Amino acid sequence: MQSKTRHFISLLLRLILGVVFGYAAYTKLSQPWALFAISVDAYHILPEWAVTVVARGLPWLELALAVLIVLGPWRRTTSVAASTLLLVFFGMMVRAYLRGEQIDCGCFGPGEAISPLTLVRDGALLAVSGFLTWDAFQHSRRPARSFQSQYSSY
């Protein structure tokens, strides 16, 4: 894939992923944290104190990731963090779905049950984040062009 095309695709995917993380954070922060805590607790994975920490802290992490993904600093760190977070979310959702649990995914606040559609959506977001992680590491491996070669075409 050409460098300019890949750069454009990467930028577009960063915008999409950033908007999704931003929207997820907004929906959780615009409601009492206890509503999101109910969704987190429904997975039956964390102790009560950790549910509180996640319910209060995760939306802020999502908001920070949204800003950093869109703006682009620390692309390697940010993309790895986003991919790890999405992998954990996806794994928990698949686990709950396979167990037949009828619970909210908690993705965008309460009210969205885990379904094949939510799994496809979150799987696609994980794939996007995985591509952005791969691209961030590929980008850092490209040899830097010299100042002269950058501007020799002018």
Tell me the pLDDT tens digit for each residue of 95-123. Answer: 999 999 999 989 987 788 999 999 999 99
Residue 150 clears pLDDT 70, i.e. is over it: no
**pLDDT band for position 16 (50/70/90)?**
very high
Residue ranges covered by each domain of the chain = 3-141
* 40: Cβ contacts below 8 Å, ≥ 6 apart: 46, 51, 54, 55, 58, 106
Q: What is the pTM of this model?
A: 0.85
pLDDT at 149: 46
Output 141 or 17, whichever has higher pLDDT: 17
Average pLDDT over the chain, rounded to an integer = 89
Tell me the pLDDT tens digit for each residue of 54-91. Answer: 999 999 999 999 999 999 889 999 999 999 999 999 99
Cα 121-127-133 angle, rounded to 5 deg = 140
